[in-house]
Amino acid sequence: MTTKRSLVERLNQEGAICAEGFLFEMERRGYLTAGEFVPEVALEYPEALKNLHKDFQHAGSDIVEAFTYNGHREKMRVIGKEDLLEPLNRAALKIAKEVANDVSEGTEPNLMAGNISNTNIWNPSDQNSQKEVRGMFEEMIGWAVDEGADMLVGETFYFAEEAYCALEVMKSSGLPCVLTIAPMGENIMRDGVTPLDTCKELEQLGADVVGLNCFRGPETMLPYIKDIRANVKCHVGALPIPYRTSEKQPTFFNLDDYDNCKCAAPHGRTFPTALDPLFTNRYEIRKFMQDCYDIEVKYLGVCCGANPMLIREVADVMGKNPPAMRFRENMSNHFMYGTNKRIPEHIKDYGDKA
Ligand SMILES: [Zn+2]
């Protein structure tokens, strides 16, 4: 059997990829409700979730993250299905574990990651809310450990203190911990701490990886990643969304469509259902990943909006050779824009008018 390296061993060597963005992709595939965003798919269509994990694995993801994002007690209360909380978590973890171990012979198994995230009830001035959040983290981490997680990911926190609380609970498991934050458009955590100071504190609290995920595209995430990389000693993670955020509109929550949109979303904003024209292309994602990798940021992935094609770009930057690499672009055989000598000149000549 091929040995399975730990997260930190992988990061000390070539790096590790964690594909994310399950909410958006499951929604696109017709298995999840936009807006509500609860990962019931783990119970209702386990095969669909398994397929997505397999597609990401095929494209080069080293980590199979259990799809428990938003699968916490508060969200289950919002949709009136608190009784499904534990079954949902366990089902998602079991599916992730199964896929992580399901690799072809001679290939290193993936790591399975348990996952907790922003709860949306954290209130800096209400200790009861904080106690409740801690309890939510504890039960989810308990199930993740129970189901054999190799590592833990805490993510998308926009309150610094909530991130610290999450990490404390995660650390008590003894497993490797990744903690990534998601500052909103004001470019500061909601409780007034800078993203850099939050990451420095998370390192002090024992995180193996600190960094940013979600909300921000390459352009508005990279400056923070550089700053963090220069100021912490532990590994750094970067998982942007593949959308063209800008200094004026740093996150996808308030991203405007270009002027040529003739059919705006009925709810009045592009987030989350009308972001399609604002996608980055694969080369923009590749550039971001290369910029990160060049400065030794080696925990990389793509968040909401991700698809396997983008994960393959990350894998290529890291020098990995996942099965999907066999199908990477080959324009030389294109019928009109190719360079293959069999492509007739009169077809090539037509290319600019096509
Ligand atoms: Zn995301």
Report the separation in Å between the CA atom of 241 and the middle of ligand 1, taken as the mean of its atom positions: 6
Report the separation in Å between the CA atom of 174 and the middle of ligand 1, taken as the mean of its atom positions: 26
Distance CA 244, CA 10 (A): 30
CA atoms within 13 A on the CB side of 276: 8
pLDDT the model gives residue 85: 96
Which residues touch 245 (CB under 8 Å, ≥6 apart)? 216, 217, 219, 220, 221, 251, 252, 255
pLDDT the model gives residue 165: 98
Report the separation in Å between the CA atom of 32 and the middle of ligand 1, taken as the mean of its atom positions: 15
Report the separation in Å between the CA atom of 213 and the middle of ligand 1, taken as the mean of its atom positions: 7
Report the separation in Å between the CA atom of 34 and the middle of ligand 1, taken as the mean of its atom positions: 13
Report the separation in Å between the CA atom of 44 and the middle of ligand 1, taken as the mean of its atom positions: 22
Question: Is the distance from CB of 253 to CB of 35 less than 8 angstroms?
Answer: no
Would you give the DSSP letter of residue 230? H
- Give me the tens of pLDDT residue by residue for the chain, a chain 354 residues long: 578 999 999 999 999 999 999 999 999 999 999 998 999 999 999 999 999 999 999 999 999 999 999 999 999 999 999 999 999 999 999 999 999 999 998 899 999 999 999 999 999 999 999 999 999 999 999 999 999 999 999 999 999 999 999 999 999 999 999 999 999 999 999 999 999 999 999 999 999 999 999 999 999 999 999 999 999 999 999 999 999 999 999 999 999 998 788 999 999 999 999 999 999 999 999 999 999 999 999 999 999 999 999 999 999 999 999 999 999 999 999 999 999 999 999 999 999 999
Would you give the DSSP letter of residue 256? P
Report the separation in Å between the CA atom of 18 and the middle of ligand 1, taken as the mean of its atom positions: 12
Report the separation in Å between the CA atom of 306 and the middle of ligand 1, taken as the mean of its atom positions: 9
Place of tokens 């939050």: 198
Q: What secondary structure does DSSP assign to 97-165, as a single string?
A: HHHHH---TTSPPPEEEEEEE--S---TT-HHHHHHHHHHHHHHHHHHHHTT-SEEEEEEE-SHHHHHH
Tokens of 344: 């007739």
Distance CA 230, CA 224 (A): 10
Report the separation in Å between the CA atom of 215 and the middle of ligand 1, taken as the mean of its atom positions: 6
Question: Which pTM value belongs to this model?
Answer: 0.97
Report the separation in Å between the CA atom of 225 and the middle of ligand 1, taken as the mean of its atom positions: 16
Report the separation in Å between the CA atom of 254 and the middle of ligand 1, taken as the mean of its atom positions: 15
Report the separation in Å between the CA atom of 303 and the middle of ligand 1, taken as the mean of its atom positions: 4
Q: What secondary structure does DSSP assign to 190-224, as a single string?
A: TTS--HHHHHHHHHHTT-SEEEEESS--HHHHHHH
> What order of strands is seen across the sheet that includes strand 209-213?
16-17, 299-300, 235-239, 209-213, 177-181, 151-157, 111-117, 63-65
Distance CA 121, CA 296 (A): 35
Tokens of 288: 């971001």
pLDDT the model gives residue 97: 98
Question: Is the distance from CB of 181 to CB of 212 less than 8 angstroms?
Answer: yes
3-state secondary structure string, 284-326?
A: HHHHHHHHHHHCCCCEECCCCCCCHHHHHHHHHHCCCCCHHHH
pLDDT the model gives residue 1: 57
